[in-house]
Every structure is written in structure tokens, then in C-alpha cells.
A and B are shown apart, each in its own frame.
Chain A
Amino acid sequence: MTEHERAARHDPIYDRLHATPEFAELRHRYRSFVIPATVAFLAWYLLYVVLSNWAGGFMSTQVVGNINVALIFGLLQFVTTFALAWYYAHYSQTKLDPLARQLDAEYRKGGDA
């Protein structure tokens, strides 16, 4: 394997940043939000697909006028998508961005030294 086929070696500052408690905290906060959230919204979406397929009777129950459970379930997918997107924006602004900015500032300082 020639040098060009391999990715270039990296700056040791990344090892130092990676070892800081701030980075460990940032990674923990990020992963502990997005992994359960992804499992939850995918399960909620698949539940909708499965119910549409195999629970026709339940989905066809009329609620108000011609509006049935299937339509409400579908519209709820919109509501939960908007809500989770909004909540993630709020979470990342308050819990993730300050730590990321702090680490990026340390990187810039380290790069100049």
C-alpha cells in the first residue's frame, strides 16, 4: 500500500481534545439523545406502517365525521416529527453547542501555538 492510498496521519491535538472530560461529556450527551430518539421515532413510524397493514379494523374506526383513526395516526406522525425536531434544536443549543464551541476554541488556540 502506497502512502497515497492511506489517509494522512493526524495532528496530535485531536488526541488531546479527545481525552478531555469535556469531549467525553459532549459525546455522551449527543449519543444519549440521538440513539434513543432514533429508536423511538423509527419504532413509532413502523408501528404506523404495521397497523396500516394488519389492523385495518382499528385504523378504520371513525372518530369525528369522516375522520378516522388512520388519518389521525398519520397526522400524529407529522406532529411528532415537528416536535422531535424542535426539541432536538433546543437540546443541542443548550447542551451541545456550548461544549462544542469550547473545544473548538481550544483547538484554535492549540493550532496557533
Chain B
Amino acid sequence: MDTQVLTTVLFLTVVAATVAITFWASRQTKTAADFYSGGRSFSGFQNGLAIGGDYMSAASFLGISGAIAVYGYDGFLYSIGFLVAWLVALLLVAEMLRNAGRYTMADQLAFRMRQRQVRSAASISTVVVSIFYLLAQMVGAGTLVALLLGVDSEAVKNITIIGVGALMIFYVVVGGMKGTTYVQIVKAVLLMLGSALIVVLVLAKFNFNLSELLGSAADNSGKGEAFLQPGLQYGASLTSQIDFLSLGLALVLGTAGLPHILIRFYTVPTAQDARKSVLWAIALIGTFYLMTLVLGFGAAALLDRDQVDPLEGGNQNLASPLLAEAVGGGEGSTGGAILLALIAAVAFATILAVVAGLTLASSSSVAHDLYKGVIKKDQPVTEKEEVRVARIGAFVIGAIAIALSIPAQRLNIAFLVALAFAVAASANLPAIIYNMFWRRFNTRGATWSIYGGLISAVGLVFFSPVMSGLPTSLFPDSDWSIFPLNNPGIVSIPLGFLLGYLGTISSREPDAEERYTELEVRALTGAGAEQAVLH
């Protein structure tokens, strides 16, 4: 059977199913609480699945297995950092945020601070983080579709980016949080089942013996034992080792500051359900990252180097789909064609679910924080008007993401995601943690940490070798790089925390300190927290 036809049919099935879900969800979306938080009526288990669907992005599914296939053990750091990060969300953020906030990340700051300043800052950083993350997913979608259709043309990539952008705007505008959540749940189930199938087929080839799989991966990689040891990608020099540490910090501290993850905690009735969702998410995401280990080493063992290694003309982002083809019987076989098409469709569903969550997070913040909290702060805004602005916001952000994705195609997907994590860890996490744990924290502290973390993270990347100075840079012919690392986290995260501290102690805000009493009682007990909407 022809893979391209089969792939196209499966892609269209995924699109049709998600469109149907969205129309169905739109009939249940009436109020602002429905649009932003799905009426807060999802169960912990449903939300755990949706968090998994929101979090396991193309960078995880395609990127990590590809990184392991090429660099061996060093690719594993991503899996570990992405998982351990959930403990920050579980212990310090999820439950208190659910009790203290309403629809967006800014709510819990605005609870006790000056609305205009903190909502503007939080909204800007929400939109910046979401757009970096969106670019990664959309560039990934373009590459995936072009390569699967076997045509490496700019036109196909651009059409795919526009198509994905149009779909994500549709999910959010029509389905709101309910539609987005069901799309994410379906995707999480597909991704887990699809990955498990390939993992079992890979392990079966090695008699379910992990050591045999690893040995075969090391031999086939041409790098021998070094392939199973740390250092192949990052061990070259002290600079690259510090870069690795910097990346590790951003991964572990970024998750609990990602706006599209934070708003998921508002979709359940109580803080206990928010905790349950994170526990389910940890079980799901942990299992998934264990599977990426097998997928990555499986690709290294079973595929030729010129299929996956970019230095030998391969494409590391295609390691998982090509591995599916190999274990299905190889190129040209029916089994191979079916599995390749299936895994490609799963990857496509993965991208769609993540971009929907990102568009929803940023458009919610534009409507609820910027429009209602800043622009119209002295006038009453009806719920209908607020939701209409959120829908317009989804259009605008979708259009910006499409416009930026087309020239961004030269950028590395994993790098864009790592940058989103670094910005989230530097700008958002310090403000969230200080606000919950430190009575003295105030508006100046919050705005200094958000703007300081945001500007330093983005600024350091601008002056890094990612942008200029090396043949692999975005602008290889110029050189303005003065910061040696690709990952800014090791500087920008401590700076975000430091600026939050300095801003706070250099100003006094008795109102914010007094209101901390209510924030703390509410956050820890749920007294007065937003209730679920009953229809």
C-alpha cells in the first residue's frame, strides 16, 4: 500500500475527529468560566490526561527520541528534566494556584497587588513564552508533513504551517477550554498507545533484553561504548558542560511556569483534584519518557545513520516514525507503511493538541489580563465582551505565530522549546513562588522579576552563538555574539529571583502585605476559592 495515501487519510481522520469534538464542545460553552476553564468541572483523571496531552509535545515525541538516536545518552537529560520538573508543580504550585486564581497566571498576583502593573507584566510574558513554544510546534509540523509526503518543498511546509495555525485558531475560538481539553485527552491516549505498540515491537526484536538493545545501539551508532555514556553532545569543553547545566536548570524549573500548563489547574473543581491531576500526569509522562528511551536507542540500533544523523544527511526529528516503519517490516512492506502512517498521524495529533493549549493560554491572558484588567480597568466589562475579545485574541496570536513560523524554519525545534522553558523559569516561576510563600513580596518585586527574567533570557539568547558567529547560527555571516552559552537559564533564572527580591525590599506596599493573609488562607484551605460551574 502507498504510504503517502495512507498517511494523508489518517491525517485527515485526526483532523475530522478533532473538528467534530470541537463542535460538540462548543454547544456546552456558554459563560466565561466555560470558555477559560471548561466550567472547572473536569475530574482529576481527565485533567491528568489533558495535562499529558498539553505537555508531551512534538519536541518530546520527535525531539527526544531523535536526540537519543543521534547523541545517545545525552538525549536522556531532556526526559529526566522534563519529568522531575513536575515535582515543582506538584509540591509548590498546582494546589495553591487552583485556590488563589481564576483564569490566568496573573490572577494570583493581581489578588494582592496593583492590577495594571502585574497583569501587564504577566500577560506579556505569557504571550512571549507561548509564541516561542508555538513556533517550535509549527516548524515541527511543517518538517514532518513535508518529509512524510516525500516532497522537501517550501510551499508544502508553508501550507502545513498555515493549516495547523488555522486549525488551532478554530479549536480555541469554537471549542474554548472544553474543546481544547478533549482534543488533548484524545491525543494523550493515542500517543501512549502508539508509543507502547512501537516499544513492544522494538523490545521483541531484542528478546525483551535492555542490555542487548543498548549494545546493539552502541555498535550500530559507530561510536561504541561512548554512545551509552554522558558527554557525547555536551562533554566537549567546559563551555558546553556549563551549557548542559544551564539547560538542566531551565528544564527542571520551567514547567511550573508554563502558562498553558498553569491554566490547566483551573479546570478542576478543587485543589485536591488539581493534585490528583498532577499525580496522573506524572504517572503518564514518566511512563512516556521511559518509552522514549527505548524509541531513541531502538532507532539508533535499527536505523541506518544516514536516516537519523544530521551530520550524515539524516533528519533526527524523524527517528520515531522511521523506527515504526522499520519494526513494521521495513520500507516497502505493508506493515511498515501502516505503522509509519500511524505514528506520523499520532505525531500530528500531538502537535495539534499542544498548539491549541498554547493559543488558549495566550488569548485568555490577552482578554482577561490586558483587556479587562488594564485597558478597560475603570469600566465594567461583560462576560460576553470578555470572551469575544479572547476569541479575537486567538485570531491575532494565531496569525502572529503563522507569520513568525515561516521565517523561523531554520531554527532548531529543541532549541525553541528549551528557550520557552528558560523564559518561563526566569520570568514566571520567581513571581509565582514569592507570591505564595513571602508576605513581604509586592508589585515592584513582581514586575522586576517578570520583566528582568524575560528580558535577560531573551537578550542573552540574542547575544549567543544561536543567533550569530557560527556556521550553524541563524545569521552565520555576522558576529555579535558576546555570551558564550546557548542556554541562558544559569544566568537569567537566578537574576529573576534576585530582581524579585531587590524590587520587593526596595519598596513598601502595606496593602499587598495585608492581603497576603487572605491569599494564604485561601491557597491552603480553599476557603472562598472559585467553585465549579454546574449546568
Contact = CB atoms under 8 A, between A and B. Distances in A.
Interface in A63-83: 64-68, 70-71, 74, 77-78, 81-82
Given A68-B228, A74-B76, A89-B279, A10 B518 contact: yes
Contacts of A38: 87-88, 91-92
A52 B73 CA distance: 10
Contacts of A60: 225, 228-230
A53 B377 contact: no
Contact of B378 (A2, A11, A50, A111): A2
Interface string A1-23: 11011110011001101100001
Contacts of B90: 85, 88
A34 B215 contact: no
B110 A7 contact: yes
A100 B113 CA distance: 25
B44 to A, nearest CB: 11
Interface size class of B (residues with CB under 8 A): 35 or more
Interface in B260-285: 271-272, 275, 278-279, 282-283
B215 A104 contact: no
A18 B525 contact: no
Nearest to B516: A18
A13 to B, nearest CB: 8
A79 B515 CA distance: 40
Of the candidates B86, B115, B231, B518, the one having the most CB atoms from chain A within 10 angstroms of its own CB is B518
B235 A5 contact: no
B521 interface: yes
A52 to B, nearest CB: 4
B527 A67 contact: no
Interface in B199-257: 210-212, 214-215, 218, 225, 228-231, 234-235, 241, 244-245, 248, 252
A78 to B, nearest CB: 6
B93 to A, nearest CB: 10
Contacts of B278: 85
Interface in B166-225: 210-212, 214-215, 218, 225
Contacts of B245: 49-50, 53
Nearest to B511: A6
A99 to B, nearest CB: 8
Nearest to A53: B241
Given A4-B378, A71-B228, A27 B520 contact: yes
Given A5-B115, A7-B115, A7-B512, A68 B229 contact: yes
Contacts of A100: 271, 524-526
Contact of A7 (B80, B81, B112, B520): B112
B83 A67 contact: no
A45 to B, nearest CB: 5
B114 interface: yes
Of the candidates B81, B212, B522, B524, the one having the most CB atoms from chain A within 10 angstroms of its own CB is B524
Could you tell me the dominant secondary structure of chain B's interface residues?
helix
Contacts of A14: 517-518, 521-522, 527-528
B286 interface: yes
Contacts of A1: 114
Nearest to A80: B84
B518 A81 contact: no
Contacts of A71: 73, 76, 214, 228
B290 interface: yes
A106 B521 CA distance: 12
B282 A45 contact: no
Given A1-B114, A4-B115, A81-B282, A53 B525 contact: no
Nearest to B215: A66
Of the candidates A56, A74, A81, the one having the most CB atoms from chain B within 10 angstroms of its own CB is A81
A15 to B, nearest CB: 6
B111 interface: yes
Contacts of B234: 53
Given A1-B114, A74-B80, A56 B231 contact: yes
Interface in B71-121: 73, 76-77, 79-81, 83-84, 86-88, 90-92, 110-116
A81 B286 contact: yes
B423 to A, nearest CB: 20
A81 B244 contact: no
A77 B84 contact: yes
A54 B237 CA distance: 11
A50 B92 CA distance: 24
7 contacts: A10-B517, A66-B228, A70-B228, A70-B229, A71-B228, A81-B286, A99-B525
- Counting from the closest, the 5 A-B pairs by CB-CB distance are A65-B211, A107-B527, A52-B230, A66-B214, A14-B518
Given A45-B81, A68-B228, A107-B521, 15 more contacts: A4-B378, A7-B112, A14-B528, A17-B521, A17-B525, A27-B524, A37-B91, A66-B211, A66-B212, A77-B80, A78-B286, A84-B87, A88-B91, A100-B525, A107-B528
